[in-house]
Structure 1
Amino acid sequence: MDPIILSVTFVLGLLANRVGLPALVGFLVAGFILNLLGFSTSENIQLVGDMGVTLLLFTIGLKLKIKQLLRPEIWAAGSIHMLITVLFFGLGIQLLTFAGLHFFAELNVATSLLLGFALSFSSTVFAVKILEESGLANSLNGRTSIGILIIQDILAVLFITFSTGKTPSLWALLIIALLPAARWMFFYILNHIGHGELQVLFGMALALAAGAGVFELVGLKADLGALVMGMLLATHPRATELSESLLSIKDFMLLGFFLSIGLGGFPDFASFVVSALFVLAIPLKSLLFFFLLTRFNLSSRSSFITSVTLTNYSEFGLIVGAIGVSNGWLDNRWLVVMAISLSLSFIVASPLNMVADEIFEKWRNVLNRFETAKSHPDEERIIPTVMWQVIILGMGRVGTQTYDVLRERYGNVVLGVDADQEKVKRHTAEGRNVIYADVSGRDFWRRLVSLNFVKTCVITIPSFDAKLYAITMAKQLGVVCKIVAITEFDDEVEPLLEGGADLAFNIYDEIGIGLANDICSCLDDPKIVVGEQKKQQTD
């Protein structure tokens, strides 16, 4: 890439990041500005962008667990929402066409529905970023959001596949038949390549060569091949690690895609007006998500937070639009409109997600009326009335070890809490007292306030923002027990203490102390000393 293009893109991406927006907003704006300065997209930028989309689909496949998608609040709500949204936007665009507005002139029904399809997606990149920063990717609303996004992504891939108009060759049947054997071979390789550069190279080879390359050769869409390769490895224990190892490369290559959109043309006034009109319609998408999710027995809070997470347009809408332009179905100006709509939706959604819980609390009484009488099986709305003295929030490796040590020392007075239902089930099967709860919600802390016999609450969840938010909420609602928080960074200790934690420390400081104590125990063990003396005599 041209150094000027990279420099301008970096600066605007950084500015977007500093104001709390995804960097891709800056990349789109950079493309528009560079186009205004006389730059145009090149084959290299286009190639890098195509590879970024392929890697994006591969990493989505790595997270695609069929069992999770079979839940009705995911596949049914996601599909119904997309169908209604496509019809709503399609009808609305056709009405504007019949009204004689110049920008919408000559749009037929099929084109209007295609635009509606592009606008029906929510952003996977944005949602994952929000959920990871809040530490709620494995919570019920996090898993529901990601599941709905994957349903949307699958529909997008199917559209991309069939939009080419190619007829697969007979060799495609052989490739499909060999997938089970290929899966076994890929599992074996992933088990034996370590954690470094070979793992990254293996992931790229699967996505770009075994997936995109081979599928393209037999007449199938390359993007579908990348998704399928990811799905083959989705159940492997190191699938998440592989996805994370490709994260930076994928994000860099997607830079080419967003740049190419911006470099395609500078928006005029009419494009901004139409984009603003589309952004005004986003709340309707959110209201529909909320209504559908409550129909599938999710609580009003889970439904609301999930709906806010999905309140945006998607980079997949740009991909669908780009295919429409390349096939001659859409004018290039519509791609510019969708790029602006995407950027504006992020500008609206970013602050909205930051205050989503406060908005829910303000409208709690109204929103609770939409709840069904039946509760969702994954939502615990009560804490078992046992005389718990210690509650551990976050039952990962550190939380589990802390739980086991405290229970061994003090007895069955320790309760574990986690927002990952699968993790809760595993701990319960192993004999631990662990319940599901979303600690980012005020309901949990309200219930905890009434348990005045709890002496200590230990917070081991990984996200700093989630820890700080939980501590602040606990203090606001009047939790009287001592709050202990751990972190991985020294510069996070002081903010946690200022936020209300009674004790906060860097976990790595304690690892060194624990290791030293274990070594001292070993040196004081007479069996070890005698063994060492015998070894010296033998030598």
Structure 2
Amino acid sequence: MPDHSLLTVVVLLAAAVLTVAAARKVRLPPIISYLLMGMLLGPHALALVPDEERMRHLAEFGVVFLMFSIGLEFSLAQFIRMRRLVFGLGSAQVVLTAITFLGVALLIPLSWRTGVVLGGILAMSSTAMVVRALADRLETQSRHGRIAISILLFQDLAVIPLLILIPALAGSPRELPHDLAIAGAKAVLALLLLVVIGRPLVSPWFEWVAARKSNELFMLNLLLVTLGLAWITEAAGLSLALGAFIAGMLLAETAYRYQVEADIASFRDILLGLFFVTIGMMVDVPVLIEYLPWVLLVLVLIFFLKGGLVWIICRVTGFENGVALRSAVVLAQAGEFGFVLISLASQKNLLPPGVLQPVLGAMLLSMLFAPVLVQYNGAIARLLAPGYRNRRQQDLEEVRQQDLREHVIICGYGRVGQSIARVLEDEGVPYLALDLDPTRVRQAQAAGETIFYGDASRRDLLEAAGIGHARAIVITYGNVQETARVLAVAKELRPQIPSVVRAHDDSQMAALEAAGADEVIPEVTEGALMLASQTLLQIGFPLSTVLRRVRRFRQERYSLFRGNFWGGSAPGEDQESPRLYSIALGETAYALGRRLGDLELEKRGVQVAAVRRFGIRGREPSPETRLRRGDVLVLFGSPESLTDSERFVLHGEQEEKDAKGVEAV
């Protein structure tokens, strides 16, 4: 018979491109598209991809690299710092959920081994989906965000003993204690041997490979270590995933962790996608429809029983009702590791078809609903817990009580935001900062700084922060999407507010300007500019040349510097050509307190390019703008008209006439 392997790969790639692109369009996680693709192409639907055993073996490598990535993220210091949440809430959630679903299985009735497997499978939530959604909403540092991430961390660790338990359950019940003891002893022994022997060897070995300065060699070595350790644990009667996890954990503390993580990402994502395709192929749609009432029952149990247990655990440990509800909503879904476990259990014949199909269908549906639940977790909590709504209003009231005027709103109070605050404070400019790190907010408030906890993309919070009468808004986030979200809300509330945002480099400038930013400051570009200018000075270039180069560089990148501010003696310049010119308004300036339109500067042959206040440029200022001390007028015109306009702006009509009379004499 002809080998259709290549055709199978082509069909999978074509379907993956289309389904993942569609998922991105509607903002669904790629995992959903892979699962649906497997359902559509598998043997129970179009049958375009045969359910071959070799394809399953290839897909297992996706799980290997997923566990390797989890091992890379394992940080002993992080676990120690979060031990109360991780080992307290996390262990309680996994154990209680597993026991509860075991009890439900026994009531149906199902065998106790099937109940144990189902309990472990349904105790898992989606780490990738939840963390991504929380990060997009700037909620990873909120209380419910830290609870969810802590529980997810423990779930990831709990997969390891479950991967050992499930094969042991497939054996004889009489031999189960013996099998579990042997498997546990093997796991502990393998872990000790690999850590004791591998830890001293892995860093020097990678250092030797890296010294060869070959990307191909580094990648080959990475695959050798990952798959080699996976083979060792499989040969010991354990799972491939356990060895991969240990390999990642060994590399987590080396200097090569981030390079390894970047190199492995493409392998992991592609092979993991293939794994989820094989999971989708397990779904038998006609059988699923036949068992639809059971699918809906399992779905309800995942949402309400699992979510309810999270709520109870949070309440018992002292968290308020609203925080407990938000944590429950965020975690009330199945997870990718649940599919890993269900695949293993299916191979060991621990789940009969009448159980496998309803559970698979319910897990799929729960993950389809999960993005919506995470998106609206706050609204759901406020609906179910009126007291939590009142607490939120109290937080807003604390911000409103500041009653600031002519202030600057700083979104993000990290190192950049704090530096901006220091400059504003030195200049006597009031500011109000918003940040999502509760520890930072608490410490800064204790030091007397005007900072409050809150998500700056919330309309009500920006209104409470006084955006209607603020001088400017400064956004210091390093993420373009987060910055764009805040800009969209800020410009909707007050379209004319000057906005200054931080970018990583100038490749992000166009996107941020399109989002509404008035000025974009790329930190990498500014750092490179300073390094380049100091280099030119050190190798003997004159200071005037360096300053001219810096000025030209900034003119090309910032709207504030676009246009030509000409010098007075640069060779080759046409001294009669129109140019930009800045006029600073001191305490005695004639234009102080007057509206820009009343000055009628257009009649003097100049255009007002901008008005700057406290370093913030207002483009195309309104004629109703009333000028204040310290403002800088940026005018465009010929040298003669600029000189005439400067006299008028600073001294007025009479002194202008006197000055002209003196010139005539």
TM-score band, normalised by shorter chain: 0.7 to 0.9
Aligned to 1:276: 296
Alignment partner for residue 134 of structure 1, among 134, 137, 146? Answer: 137
Task: State the 1:527 CA deviation.
Answer: 6.4
Q: For residue 63 of structure 2, give the secondary structure of its aligned residue in structure 1.
A: helix
Task: State the 1:155 CA deviation.
Answer: 1.1
Matched, 1:86 2:89: no
Matched, 1:60 2:78: no
CA contact (8 A) 1:161 1:223 kept: no
Task: State the 1:275 CA deviation.
Answer: 2.1
Alpha carbons of structure 1 residues 79 and 513: separation in structure 2 relative to 1, 3 Å: closer
CA distance in 2, matches of 1:128, 1:110: 32
CA distance in 2, matches of 1:57, 1:368: 40
Alpha carbons of structure 1 residues 435 and 49: separation in structure 2 relative to 1, 3 Å: farther
Aligned to 1:101: none
CA contact (8 A) 2:130 2:374 kept: no
Aligned to 1:353: 374
Letter in 1 for 2:30: A
Matched, 1:255 2:273: yes
Letter in 1 for 2:34: F
RMSD: 4.5
Q: For residue 458 of structure 1, give the secondary structure of its aligned residue in structure 2.
A: strand
CA distance in 1, matches of 2:27, 2:277: 20
CA distance in 2, matches of 1:369, 1:183: 54
Letter in 2 for 1:292: I
Alignment partner for residue 58 of structure 2, among 34, 43, 48? Answer: 48
Aligned to 2:329: 308
Q: For residue 277 of structure 1, give the secondary structure of its aligned residue in structure 2.
A: helix
Matched, 1:8 2:15: yes
CA contact (8 A) 1:81 1:288 kept: yes
Letter in 2 for 1:215: T
Could you tell me which runs of 5 or more consecutive residues in structure 1 were left unpaired when the two chains were aligned. Answer: 98-106, 372-380, 498-502, 533-539
Alpha carbons of structure 1 residues 383 and 179: separation in structure 2 relative to 1, 3 Å: farther
Alignment partner for residue 250 of structure 2, among 224, 232, 240? Answer: 232
Task: State the 1:454 CA deviation.
Answer: 6.7
Aligned to 1:112: 115
Alignment TM-score, normalising by the size of structure 2: 0.63
Q: For 1:8-44, what per-residue CA distance to the aligned partner results, in whole angstroms no more than 9, with x for missing partners? A: 3432333333223222222222222222223322244
Aligned to 2:611: none
CA contact (8 A) 2:499 2:519 kept: no
Alignment partner for residue 496 of structure 1, among 515, 529, 534? Answer: 515
CA contact (8 A) 2:283 2:361 kept: no
Task: State the 1:57 CA deviation.
Answer: 1.0
Aligned to 2:239: 221
Alignment TM-score, normalising by the size of structure 1: 0.76
Alpha carbons of structure 1 residues 520 and 440: separation in structure 2 relative to 1, 3 Å: closer
Alpha carbons of structure 1 residues 61 and 444: separation in structure 2 relative to 1, 3 Å: farther
Alpha carbons of structure 1 residues 435 and 201: separation in structure 2 relative to 1, 3 Å: farther
How many aligned residue pairs are there? 503
Matches within 5 A, 1:257-406: 257-267=275-285, 268=287, 269-284=289-304, 285-298=306-319, 302-332=323-353, 334-363=355-384, 365-367=386-388, 390=408, 392-394=410-412, 406=423
CA distance in 2, matches of 1:422, 1:238: 31
Q: For residue 457 of structure 1, give the secondary structure of its aligned residue in structure 2.
A: strand
Matches within 5 A, 1:60-209: 60-69=70-79, 70-97=82-109, 107-137=110-140, 140-165=143-168, 167=183, 168=186, 174-182=193-201, 184-185=203-204, 188=207, 201=220, 203-209=222-228
Q: For 1:38-75, what per-residue CA distance to the aligned partner results, in whole angstroms no more than 9, with x for missing partners? A: 33222442133111101111111222223433432332
Alpha carbons of structure 1 residues 187 and 6: separation in structure 2 relative to 1, 3 Å: closer
Aligned to 1:460: 476
CA distance in 2, matches of 1:527, 1:348: 64
Q: For 1:320-351, what per-residue CA distance to the aligned partner results, in whole angstroms no more than 9, with x for missing partners? A: 12222222222245444333222211221222
Q: For residue 108 of structure 2, give the secondary structure of its aligned residue in structure 1.
A: helix
Alpha carbons of structure 1 residues 43 and 93: separation in structure 2 relative to 1, 3 Å: closer
Matched, 1:17 2:24: yes
Q: For residue 252 of structure 2, give the secondary structure of its aligned residue in structure 1.
A: coil
Alpha carbons of structure 1 residues 442 and 135: separation in structure 2 relative to 1, 3 Å: closer
Alpha carbons of structure 1 residues 518 and 80: separation in structure 2 relative to 1, 3 Å: closer
Q: For residue 489 of structure 1, give the secondary structure of its aligned residue in structure 2.
A: helix
Alignment partner for residue 27 of structure 1, among 21, 34, 48? Answer: 34
CA contact (8 A) 1:459 1:485 kept: yes
Aligned to 1:37: 46
CA contact (8 A) 2:102 2:118 kept: yes
Could you tell me which runs of 5 or more consecutive residues in structure 2 were left unpaired when the two chains were aligned. Answer: 1-7, 169-181, 393-397, 546-665
CA distance in 2, matches of 1:461, 1:270: 50
Letter in 2 for 1:322: S
Identity %: 23
**Relative contact order, higher structure (CA 8 A, sep 6+):** 1
Alpha carbons of structure 1 residues 14 and 470: separation in structure 2 relative to 1, 3 Å: same
Alpha carbons of structure 1 residues 79 and 45: separation in structure 2 relative to 1, 3 Å: same
Letter in 2 for 1:461: Y
Alpha carbons of structure 1 residues 84 and 162: separation in structure 2 relative to 1, 3 Å: closer
Larger Rg: 2
